[in-house]
Structure 1
């Protein structure tokens, strides 16, 4: 091989190695960025969206679902008796319940919906109904809430032992006329109505959003403030 040909081969090999190295580095960087984005928008314990993930996707999801003539429900879920599980059976049991609830909510949300853990034992789910039920969405949502509550409160098996799961649900029918934060706030008000009336579920109505409910420090808020996503800007919350 002539010196000139040898130089060309060497240069070609160096160029190929540099290109391969660049492509590998770019692929690695993309993978790292994807991992960072996922960690920023998902709950590390349950694997479903966190508050940031819900905030980023909710408005688009509601708008898309609503334009398909399907009713859209925003539901807040607050587990009942969760602290007792932690105190009695340990935090591993509590984590097991949180993971089971997240899995159930993911199934309830379906491919067109979204489930999120807002923090602690509070969850949210955005789900859609059948297109043919848009005209009687209120009836659909009331029935759907009962179905969700039944699925969520089925005892969870932990080390061959059934653990009780309690939950209170508040819901609102959503549309693109308002942001997701407004619908979450209204679902939160409905949840308060359910708690105040010792019920397991409640749906937001026009009479739910009274000045007293919107401005008062409610017992649930004093015990544990709800997610910032569920708080309207004008609502006064406990510190």
Structure 2
């Protein structure tokens, strides 16, 4: 091999090695960025979306489903008696319940919906109804809420013993005329109304809006949650 040919072979080898190293580094960086993005939008305990993940996807989901002529339900879920489980059985048992609830809500949301853990023992679901909008939306939503409440509150088995799961659900029918934050707020008002009336579920209506018009936000339950938007809210809040 001539010196010139040897130099060309050496240069080609170096170039190939550099290209391979660049591609490997690029692939590694892309994988790392994907991991970071996933961590930023998903709850580390349950694996479902967190508040940021829900916020990022909710508007598109609602707009797409509504444009296709589907009912869109926005549901907030507040667990009841969760602190007692933690205090009685330990935080591992509490984590087990949170994970079980997340899995159940993911099933309710379906492939076209989204389930999220907003923080603590508060969850949200945005999903589409099984029928087009010419059907009675209010009846469907009320019946569906009752159905998922029954399934959601089925006791969870932990170390061969059943643990109770309590929950209050509030829901609103959404459309593309307002951002997702509006519908989440209305679902929150419905959930507050359900608690105030000692019910397990409630659907937002104009009557719900009026009844909760002077809703206090400095409830100890809300202020105890650093992730709750109510912690930084004004003294009273009006329905959207």
TM-score by length of 2: 0.92
User: Residues 98 and 112 from structure 1, CA distance in 2 versus in 1: closer, same or farther, beyond 3 angstroms?
Assistant: same
Following superposition, the deviation at residue 213 of structure 1 comes to 1.8
For residue 224 of structure 1, give the secondary structure of its aligned residue in structure 2. Answer: helix
Q: Which runs of 5+ in 1 are unaligned?
A: none
Following superposition, the deviation at residue 222 of structure 1 comes to 3.2
Q: Distance in 2 between matches of 1:228 and 1:63?
A: 25
Are the counterparts in 2 of residues 48 and 117 from structure 1 also a CA contact under 8 Å? yes
Q: How many residues align?
A: 235
User: Residues 55 and 68 from structure 1, CA distance in 2 versus in 1: closer, same or farther, beyond 3 angstroms?
Assistant: same
Query: In structure 2, what is the equivalent of residue 183 of structure 1?
Result: 183
Q: Distance in 2 between matches of 1:231 and 1:187?
A: 17
TM-score by length of 1: 0.93
Following superposition, the deviation at residue 45 of structure 1 comes to 0.3
Q: How does 1:70-109 map to 2 (within 5 A)?
A: 70-109=70-109
Following superposition, the deviation at residue 214 of structure 1 comes to 3.3
Are the counterparts in 1 of residues 217 and 236 from structure 2 also a CA contact under 8 Å? no
Q: How does 1:64-213 map to 2 (within 5 A)?
A: 64-132=64-132, 134-210=134-210, 213=212
Q: Which runs of 5+ in 2 are unaligned?
A: none
Following superposition, the deviation at residue 106 of structure 1 comes to 0.4
Query: In structure 2, what is the equivalent of residue 45 of structure 1?
Result: 45
Superposed CA RMSD in Å reads 2.0
Are the counterparts in 2 of residues 185 and 229 from structure 1 also a CA contact under 8 Å? no
Deviations 1:188-230 (A, max 9, x none): 11011111111000000011112x62343157x3322476568
Following superposition, the deviation at residue 147 of structure 1 comes to 1.1
Q: Distance in 2 between matches of 1:201 and 1:117?
A: 19
Q: Distance in 1 between matches of 2:174 and 2:229?
A: 15
